[in-house]
Amino acid sequence: MGKRTNSQISVPLTNVSLAWSNADFKAREVLNSIPVNFTSAFYWEYDKTAFQDIDDTVSETGEVNRISRGWRQVPVRLEERGIGAFISDREREELEQLGMGTTLEADETEHITERTLLKLEQRVFGSNGLLRASGNNIYDSDSINWSDLATSNPRLDIEAAITAIDAATAIQPNTIVLTHRVARQIMNTEAYKSERQYVADLSTTGGVNQMPTEFYGLRAVYVQAAISSTRRGQNTSLTKLFGEDVWIGYVNPNPTLGRKQLTFGAIAEMPRKVLKYYVNERRGTAIDHIYDYALVRVAKECGGILRNVLS
C-alpha cells in the first residue's frame, strides 16, 4: 500500500485547500495564530509578575535589581491531524465520461478541508472546547437567566464579566461570542429595547433583520457551526456548538501573535498541506489533508464564560 511522505505534497491541491473558506467557521476570529516550523515548539504565556512594583534603585556598589521576564516560555507539542479521501480508478473513469472528472481532486480536497476545519471549530467552541473548558474563568451565577424578557438585564451580567477581566489584565475585553439564538434573546429583553428605542442602531448595516455586529461595545462573533452525534440519517437533528453559553474576552487584533502579546488563546500551527499518492493495491489515488496544530491559552485571565444564560 502507498505510504505517505512529504515528497508527495501536491502544491495545486494545497493551494485549493488554503483558498477554501466558510463564513460560518469562526475559530480564526477568536484565536490568533502562532506559526511554527516543528511539531515541538514554545509559546509565551501571560504572567502577572510583569505588573509587580519593582525597586529600580541602584545600590552604592552599582548593582541593579534583577527582575523576572514577566512571561513564561511554555513548551507545546503539536498534534498531527489529518483526514483523507480516496478516488478509485473506476470512479475517475466514470466521472470523466460524464464530464465531471476535471474537478474531482479539487472537490475532494475542499470536502476534507471543510471536515478538518469543522473539527477545529468543535475543539474551540464545543462543550469541552478551549473557550468552554473547565479550567477557564466562570463569571455566571444562579441569578443569570435571560429567558425572563421582562426582568433580565444582560448588560449587567456582561459588564460584571468585563470588570473582572479588566481587573485581572488591565485591558478591556473586545469580543463577545454567542449564538444567534442567544443574541435574539438579548435583543428581545425589555432592558435592551429600552436602551435602543431612541437610538439609531449603528451596529447594523443591512436592515432590521441583520444581527448586530456588536453588543455593549464588544465585537460580536456568532458561532454557527453545527455537528451531528450520529454517522448517518437525514432525520438526525444538528447541535449548535456553543449552546446557550456566552464568552467574553480580549482577542488580540493581530491575526498572527508576536512575542509576549496579550490575548486569550491561540493556535500553534504548522502550514496545512495536501498530499496525493497512488495506492497500487486499491487501484486509486489517495488525497490526505494534514494539519498539525495545538490550541493553547496564552492568558486565561483574558476571557471567561457565562453558562446557560437562557435557563
Residue 242, domain CATH:
3.90.1690.10
Of 222, 287, 295, 268, the closest CA to residue 82 belongs to 287
State whether the Cα torsion 296-298-303-304 is positive or negative: positive
Question: According to the model, what pLDDT value does residue 304 have?
Answer: 93
Distance of alpha carbon 191 from alpha carbon 149, whole angstroms: 8
In a domain, 297, yes or no: yes
Range(s) of the domain holding residue 242: 6-48+72-199+209-306
Amino acid letter, residue 310? L
**From the CB of residue 79, how many other CB atoms can be counted at a distance below 10 Å?**
11
β partners of residue 296 = 266
What does 170-207 look like in DSSP terms, one character per residue? SS---EEEE-HHHHHHHHHSHHHHHHHTTS--TT-SS-
Element (H, E) at 306: strand 303-306
* No. of helices (H) and no. of strands (E), the chain: 7, 15
Compute CA distances 165 → 47, 69, 213, whole Å. 15, 22, 21
pTM for the whole structure: 0.86
Give the per-residue pLDDT at 247: 97
- What single string gives the DSSP state of each residue in 211-252? PPSEETTEEEEE---EE-SSSS-TTPPPEETTTT-EEEE---
Overall domain count for the chain:
1
Q: Is residue 53 part of a domain?
A: no
pLDDT bracket for residue 232 (50, 70, 90): low
57, part of any domain: no
Q: Convert the pLDDT of each residue in 59-91 to its tens digit.
A: 778 788 776 666 888 999 999 899 999 999 999
Task: pLDDT band for 226, please (50, 70, 90 cuts).
Answer: confident
On the question of pLDDT at 95 being above 70, the answer is yes
Q: What is the pLDDT of residues 32-42, one digit of tens each?
A: 999 999 999 88
